[in-house]
Amino acid sequence: MGFSKLKIPRVCEQCSKPFEAKTVTTRFCSSSCANKAGKERKRQEKIQKETEGLLQKYSNKIAETQTREFISVSEATVMFGISKDTIHRMIKRGLITGQNLGIRLTRVKRSDLEALFTAVKIPVEQKKEKPKFEVGECYTISQICAKFYADPVTVNNAIKRYKVPTKKVGSFVYVPKILIDEIFAGK
């Protein structure tokens, strides 16, 4: 590719500094940045080859470990991401089955560990409808006091404790009848 008299503004891919390129394909500001990028690329390729080699080397062992009923504590730490001490505590508490076959030969039941880490269904809360603040659907604080023979301070404390929504209109505080009836019916 030939040179042109134009200077193309670029940013170096290695050092992120702006520079003026002489060609359209220029990626680095200097030969040192190009050398650093090349060395980094070779290093990443070497790391990738090593990890692929390890996976190929241990793929049979990984598959064999996943089919065995009893596994060692160190294999359990790798498979489930928990520490050896935690596994030993679980064995002592009886949460998982473990057999000590000798010094450093403790084996744990893989199905027990899998049962501990299964997905737990969390109940979905139903969305509560927003209370209606209409004239016939609400009490005022004084109406609540009269109906349930309660002190205004007690009523206000109950509203705060149970986080009952309120609406203030002028000098009156309105509270939904349904929620107040549920609160004071239980007392």
Q: Where are the domains of the chain?
A: 27-58, 68-116, 135-185
H helix intervals, the chain: 31-67, 73-80, 84-93, 110-116, 141-148, 152-161, 177-185
Single out the residue of 126, 37, 28, 117 nearest to residue 76, CA to CA.
117
Q: What is the pLDDT of residue 182?
A: 87
Q: What is the pLDDT of residue 4?
A: 61
The top-level CATH class assigned to 135-185 is: mainly alpha
Q: What is the pLDDT of residue 185?
A: 79
Q: Is the pTM of this model over 0.85?
A: no
Q: What is the pLDDT of residue 8?
A: 86
Three-class DSSP labels, 75-122 = HHHHHHCCCHHHHHHHHHHCCCCEEECCCCCEEEEHHHHHHHCCCCCC
The tens place of each residue's pLDDT in the chain, 187 residues long, gives: 555 677 889 999 999 999 998 888 889 999 999 999 999 999 999 999 998 888 888 777 777 877 888 999 988 888 888 899 999 999 999 889 888 888 778 999 988 888 887 767 777 777 666 777 777 888 899 999 999 888 999 999 999 998 889 998 888 889 998 888 888 876 5
Q: What is the pLDDT of residue 3?
A: 58
